[in-house]
Structure 1
Amino acid sequence: MRKAVLLALALLLPPAALGAPTPARAETGQLRIAQQFGIAYLPLIVAKEKKLIEARALADGVPDLKVEWLRLSGAAAMNDSLISGGLDLATAGIAPAILTWDKTRGKVDISLVASLGSMPNVLTTNNPNVKTIKDFTASDRIALPSVKVGFQPIVLQIAAEKAFGKYDKLDDLTVSLPHPDATAALLSGTGGITAHFTAPPFYEQQLASGKVHEVLNSYDVLGGPHTFNVVYATKKFVTDNPKVIRAFVEALDEANAWIKANPAEAAKLYIAAENSKLDPAFVESIIRDPQINFTTTPERVEAFVDFEYRVGLIKQKPSWKDLFQPGLHAKSGS
């Protein structure tokens, strides 16, 4: 009789209730990644073209991972798509990523996955009267990928705080425009754009034209090299897919090592992937620039945190380890 009762229970109850092991939850079979424009995204381009993520995922026990690549411009578009479930990994500047981390706490919850590298951004202008940011007037327009919440506007705010004692002094002069469009407008002198805060290869291209000059460099504003762009995801996605996340970071590390060892080939790959008309030697010179370091290790992230917390843009004051997923904590971040 007792055996019959136990057999009936075994048929009715799930394996976990009887102490039997439950099968491990399968990780995602699809990874949707969005990137923006510029050489800052070269590690992702290399990983895409060489299928490094798929290879690393297979080695880590995730077979047949399908990687889908999307192209968006600006932190706002990235966040909307990530939060709505339209993508799994978003990319944006470190400054807006910190804002997103803070604003989504207790709701969606964001986890930064990896840095894409440290590199300067440069504010350029075609206005000969502008030598420093103090020379801008109400008639100037500064193009950025995304106003207020983007990387460049927050660096501009840090610079404005130092120059004017008021961090939002220049906000009214900024307009949203993707880097390629802003570069075209600045060099042609059309559309009312007189300045552009931008990243490689756009500022190098602009300066090489002889039509613009440099106003400030973000390394000077932040006191040295700093992380530019990062990859981030919802905390749930990171927690549910540890093998995929590990494979992704390993793929970026592999891509970074390949870029440093093969700058000429990396330049050609970038030009082909982006359908760029830039001279390969010009792109190679940018990749070789000692100011640029392709690395997954976060650098001077807490300098951005300090500013954003001090002026009230964020409510929490996280360390870099609070921001980034545990797989990065063994790195010498800052």
Structure 2
Amino acid sequence: MKKFRLSAALALGLSALFTAPASAEVETLRMARQFGIGYLPLTLIEEQGLLEKHAAAAGLEFTTEWLRFTGGSGMNEALLSGNLDIAAGGVGPALTIWARTQSNLKVRGVAALESMPLYLVTTDPEIKELKDFTGQSKIALPAVKTSIQAITLQMAAEKYLGEGQHAALDAFTVSMGHPDALLALLGGQSEISAHFGAPPFQNQELKDPRAHLVLDSYDVLGGPHTFNMIWSSGAFVDANPKTVAVLMAALDEAMGFIRENPQEAAKIWMAAESTNLTEEEVVALITDPRVTWSVTPEGIAPYLEYMTRAGLISTDVTDWKEIFFPTAFPG
């Protein structure tokens, strides 16, 4: 747990978008993240004490608690039950809880964490494309039907297998955290024959000579898309404008550090997480030209359109920017 202070002057400047009274500010900020380098900005915030740095000058006092999850579904349950303030995960679970709560908690995205391609990797030499998966195949992903990988897989099935085939691979999917999925796929002793993962797990898998790429999410979406984002309830954001402003300032500094000091960012992440990747490999992931470190979301519209059309969410919203608080669009 970490305790810190924020000056009144800085808080007023940072919280210009909000009007809730200071007395409403939270006493304990409960934040979540998952596994993978896509959560690098949050890792830097925690490891470098960036919340403390941006809070120390001005007088806002609260404690922070970091929670770890293996998928978005668990975080959404924690958010709905009042046991979590800031969730972090893929676009799929974020859109799911956004649509589900518009008549009550009014959950929306606070910011994107990055845009990053996701790979479907297999060790089965007979599987070259989606049509090659059979009843004997098992595809590990963070959460069936709701994770960004599960949603992207449905979109890919519709795109490559034909109209009405969006759910063709659902029966093959298994909920499993990325670390466990990597071990299951490469261990060869389980039923898992493929993993729709995320960096660095997908990159570790592709180092194995038995593994090969089946699907790239950027191909499915037709371009770059936000992978991970953070979200919260309207009630929390309205009641805690200074806390949210401090979080955004810390996030902005973390993004800048990643862009300007990728090697140092790699060292910090490697010290905080378990990985068998070399420093050179982690730096390559961070500086991959296909990866963008930014709080501004992109590629959200295809997910919103598909999930609405497929009946995964119920909404009449067509402008994807309505899914986010103004914090996601700085400047």
Which moves more between the two structures, 274-283 or 243-252? 274-283
Deviation of 1:257 (Å): 0.8
Q: 1 CA distance for matches of 2:22 and 2:249?
A: 23
**Counterpart residue type for residue 296 of structure 1:** V
Larger radius of gyration: 1
Is contact 1:121–1:199 with CA below 8 Å preserved after alignment?
yes
Indicate the residue corresponding to 1:16 in structure 2.
Answer: none
Is contact 2:112–2:328 with CA below 8 Å preserved after alignment?
no
Deviation of 1:315 (Å): 1.6
Which moves more between the two structures, 136-145 or 100-109? 100-109
**How far does the alpha carbon of each residue in 1:242-294 deviate from its partner, in whole angstroms, 9 at most, with x for none?**
11112112211110110111111111111111143332111111111111111
Alignment of 1:22-101 (within 5 A): 24-59=22-57, 61-101=58-98
Indicate the residue corresponding to 1:160 in structure 2.
Answer: 157
Alignment of 1:307-318 (within 5 A): 307-316=306-315, 317-318=317-318
Deviation of 1:319 (Å): 2.1
Is contact 2:97–2:107 with CA below 8 Å preserved after alignment?
yes
Is contact 2:21–2:239 with CA below 8 Å preserved after alignment?
no
**Counterpart residue type for residue 177 of structure 1:** M
The reply on whether 1:321 has 2:318 as its aligned counterpart is no
Runs of 5+ in structure 2 lacking a partner? Answer: 1-19
Deviation of 1:107 (Å): 2.4
Is contact 1:117–1:294 with CA below 8 Å preserved after alignment?
yes
**How far does the alpha carbon of each residue in 1:95-151 deviate from its partner, in whole angstroms, 9 at most, with x for none?**
221111001121222121110100000000001011111110110000001111111
**Counterpart residue type for residue 86 of structure 1:** N
Is contact 2:38–2:114 with CA below 8 Å preserved after alignment?
yes
Is contact 1:183–1:202 with CA below 8 Å preserved after alignment?
yes
Q: Alignment length, in residue pairs?
A: 309
Indicate the residue corresponding to 1:191 in structure 2.
Answer: 190
Q: Percent identity?
A: 45
Deviation of 1:79 (Å): 0.7
**How far does the alpha carbon of each residue in 1:293-331 deviate from its partner, in whole angstroms, 9 at most, with x for none?**
111100011111011111121221342321111223446
**Counterpart residue type for residue 135 of structure 2:** A
Indicate the SS of the match to 1:28: coil
Q: Give me the TM-score of the superposition, normalised by structure 2.
A: 0.90
The alignment yields a C-alpha RMSD, in angstroms, of 1.6
**Counterpart residue type for residue 28 of structure 1:** V
Deviation of 1:65 (Å): 2.9
Indicate the residue corresponding to 1:243 in structure 2.
Answer: 242
Is contact 1:225–1:300 with CA below 8 Å preserved after alignment?
yes
Alignment of 1:159-238 (within 5 A): 159-164=156-161, 165=163, 166-238=165-237
Indicate the residue corresponding to 1:3 in structure 2.
Answer: none
Change in CA separation of 1:62 and 1:292 when aligned onto 2, cut-off 3 Å: farther
Indicate the SS of the match to 1:120: coil
Indicate the SS of the match to 1:131: coil
Indicate the SS of the match to 2:140: strand
The reply on whether 1:290 has 2:277 as its aligned counterpart is no
Is contact 1:123–1:197 with CA below 8 Å preserved after alignment?
yes
Indicate the SS of the match to 1:32: strand
Q: Give me the TM-score of the superposition, normalised by structure 1.
A: 0.89
Change in CA separation of 1:330 and 1:49 when aligned onto 2, cut-off 3 Å: closer
Deviation of 1:58 (Å): 3.7
Indicate the SS of the match to 2:135: coil
Is contact 1:40–1:200 with CA below 8 Å preserved after alignment?
yes
Indicate the residue corresponding to 2:301 in structure 1.
Answer: 302
Q: 2 CA distance for matches of 1:43 and 1:270?
A: 10
Is contact 2:144–2:175 with CA below 8 Å preserved after alignment?
yes
Indicate the SS of the match to 1:303: helix
Runs of 5+ in structure 1 lacking a partner? Answer: 1-21
Indicate the SS of the match to 1:227: coil
**Counterpart residue type for residue 88 of structure 2:** T
Which moves more between the two structures, 170-179 or 86-95? 86-95
**Counterpart residue type for residue 126 of structure 1:** T
Indicate the SS of the match to 2:215: strand
Deviation of 1:211 (Å): 1.9
Is contact 2:76–2:93 with CA below 8 Å preserved after alignment?
no
